[in-house]
């Protein structure tokens, strides 16, 4: 009986390596709103602003000295007295930090964008399931709506909770001509997104489920085979 239990446990463990794990940005260098404003030498235009876990998170990928990034921070600075209770900022500087740059590539790819295209640049702003590739004043109302919608949401979408460790493995496509990153911040308007890797994760779940079913079938088949052997032995003894 012990052999049967051990066999069942061992076969079930076969599916464990397929299990995926959500990523965390804790190991990356980040700045909050006040720190980012200070780095860009933007004077605070608000009072009594505090960041808490209850606020909606704005993920901001930016380059130090980037004009469009600075314009976006200036906009946030201007609305903080009114909207500051709704949001906090997690800022990743990507021009001088290779790890943050790689994270930007992974997040953008996950959300369905091509971070290696000539039209892609910073700031890259993620607010819940909405993303803004670049910034202009035309986005202001959409950004405020995205902040309030995420704050009011009972089930807040967080890209870092949706992404898995394997999603970080993003490399630039090989081309004949090496091109530099685009620094143009005013690009496409925002778009909605769910998980950029839904298909991939679904495939993982399907494979995991199928392997689990196969393990169960194999285990019961083995148990049935062992039971038959026992029955045959019992019959032989009874004939004696």
Q: For residue 112, what is the domain's CATH number?
A: 3.40.30.10
175/226 same-domain check: no
pLDDT in tens, 152-180: 999 999 999 999 999 999 888 876 655 44
Count of C-beta atoms within a 10 Å radius of residue 7: 16
C-alpha distances in angstroms, 148 versus 58, 166, 195, 207? 11, 31, 21, 38
Assess if residue 21 is contained within a domain. Answer: no
Per the document, the length of the chain is 240
69/188 same-domain check: yes
110/140 same-domain check: yes
What's the pLDDT score for residue 46?
92
188/228 same-domain check: no
Number of domains in the chain: 2
> What H or E segment, with its residue span, contains residue 124?
strand 124-127
Q: Residue 117's closest CA among 192, 190, 191, 187?
A: 187
121/211 same-domain check: no
d(CA 136, CA 139): 6
Assess if residue 179 is contained within a domain. Answer: yes
d(CA 137, CA 94): 23
Assess if residue 162 is contained within a domain. Answer: yes
- Retrieve residue 8's tokens: 């069942």
212/178 same-domain check: no
- Retrieve residue 103's tokens: 């994270």
122/206 same-domain check: no
d(CA 115, CA 175): 15
Assess if residue 19 is contained within a domain. Answer: no
Assess if residue 101 is contained within a domain. Answer: yes
The string over 161-192, giving b where at least 16 C-beta atoms fall within 10 Å of a residue's C-beta and e elsewhere, is ebbbeebeebeeeeeeeeeebbeebbbeebee
Burial class of 95 by CB neighbour count within 10 A (0 to 12, 13 to 18, 19+) = middle
Cis ω for the linkage preceding 59 (within 30 of 0): no
What's the pLDDT score for residue 184?
47
DSSP alpha helices (H): ranges in 94-139? 98-110
What's the pLDDT score for residue 203?
57
97/173 same-domain check: yes
What's the pLDDT score for residue 227?
73
Burial class of 116 by CB neighbour count within 10 A (0 to 12, 13 to 18, 19+) = middle
What's the pLDDT score for residue 109?
96
146/59 same-domain check: yes
Assess if residue 181 is contained within a domain. Answer: yes
Assess if residue 24 is contained within a domain. Answer: no
Assess if residue 20 is contained within a domain. Answer: no
What's the pLDDT score for residue 59?
98
Judging by DSSP bridges, how do beta strands 130-133 and 191-192 pair with one another? antiparallel
Under-70 pLDDT residues of the chain:
1-21, 175-209, 214-215, 229, 231, 233-240
192/205 same-domain check: no
89/184 same-domain check: yes
Name 110's Cβ contacts closer than 8 Å, sequence gap at least 6: 159, 162, 163, 167, 195, 196, 197
Angle between helices 140-152 and 67-83 (to 10 degrees): 50
164/71 same-domain check: yes
Give the range of the structural domain holding residue 212, as residue numbers without chain letter.
2-11+201-239
What's the pLDDT score for residue 86?
97
- Retrieve residue 176's tokens: 């004949």
Q: Residue 39's closest CA among 15, 14, 8, 60?
A: 60
């Amino acid at each position: 009986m012990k052999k049967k239990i051990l066999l069942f446990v061992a076969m079930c463990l076969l599916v464990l390596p397929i299990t995926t794990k959500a990523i965390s940005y804790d190991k990356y260098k980040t700045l909050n709103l006040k720190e980012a404003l200070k780095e860009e030498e933007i004077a605070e235009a608000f009072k009594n602003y505090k960041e808490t876990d209850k606020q909606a998170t704005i993920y901001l990928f930016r380059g130090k000295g980037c004009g469009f990034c600075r314009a976006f921070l200036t906009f946030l600075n201007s609305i903080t007295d009114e909207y500051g209770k709704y949001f906090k900022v997690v800022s990743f500087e990507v021009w001088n930090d290779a790890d943050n740059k790689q994270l930007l590539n992974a997040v953008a790819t996950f959300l369905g964008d091509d971070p290696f295209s000539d039209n892609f640049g910073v700031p890259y702003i993620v607010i819940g399931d909405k993303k803004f590739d670049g910034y202009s004043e035309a986005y202001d109302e959409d950004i405020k709506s995205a902040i309030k919608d995420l704050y009011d949401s009972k089930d807040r979408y967080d890209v870092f909770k949706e992404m898995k460790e394997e999603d970080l493995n993003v490399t630039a496509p090989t081309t004949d001509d090496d091109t530099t990153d685009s620094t143009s911040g005013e690009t496409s308007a925002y778009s909605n997104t769910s998980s950029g890797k839904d298909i991939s994760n679904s495939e993982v779940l399907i494979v995991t489920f199928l392997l689990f079913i196969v393990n169960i079938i194999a285990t019961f088949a083995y148990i049935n085979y062992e039971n038959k052997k026992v029955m045959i032995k019992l019959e032989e003894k009874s004939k004696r």
